[in-house]
Amino acid sequence: MFIKEKSEIHTKKLYYAFPVVLVGYKDDKFKYNATTISSTYSLGNTINMGITSDSHAAEQIKKYGEFTINLPCDSLMSEIEICGFFSGNNKLQQADLPYTVGNFVDAPLIDECFLSMECRVSECIEFEGYVHFIGKIERRIADKNLVDEDGNFISEKAKTVHFIGCSNKRVYRYLKEETKDLGDFIEGGTSNCG
């Protein structure tokens, strides 16, 4: 087996292709707002999200205990950057993003995003300048063309934007059209993945 030579990366940050999401939240000043992040993942009905501790969004989410996760596609790149670059502003208005308020949480579901989740904070953990929110997903909604007749998500059609890079340079990456089913790369194709 050929072993590739590796080099140490000298950086304070490393993003290895996380999906970009717009986090919707209740806001004291503007009623509702949004911010762009790339540090989320979900397991079952649990959502985990990390945000800079001193950010306006973190302060408001800690106060109200609820938020939404909204997945944009690459047609919303300017809106993604507006929501990421103008902390403390009314970014939903600035980016001209229409929204509806959730059924289970008092936070905005961004209409133009193909997938949205209503989430309630269960726990906040502050660590090294970041706040990690652990929450419960109360509801998931997706564009009708991404849901089959049985209510299952059609993942092959989703086109997410990913964030990758280090302290020196960060870039956006986009999913390619090709997909493979879970289990396609092993004989017998059964999975024990959650």
Q: What is the pLDDT of residue 109?
A: 98
Distances from the Cα of 92 to the Cα of 25, 31, 108, 127, 133, angstroms: 10, 10, 9, 29, 22
Q: Using alpha carbons, select from 118, 114, 96 the residue that is nearest to residue 154.
A: 114
- Kindly list the averaged pLDDT for each block of 10 residues, start to end, along the chain of length 194: 83 85 96 96 96 95 98 94 90 96 98 97 96 98 94 88 87 79 74 56
25: left (phi over 0), alpha (psi -120 to 50) or beta: beta
CA 12 to the chain's CA centroid: 21
Look up residue 14 and give its two tokens.
């490393």
Q: What is the pLDDT of residue 191?
A: 55
For tokens 């001193």, name the residue: 54
Q: What is the pLDDT of residue 73?
A: 92
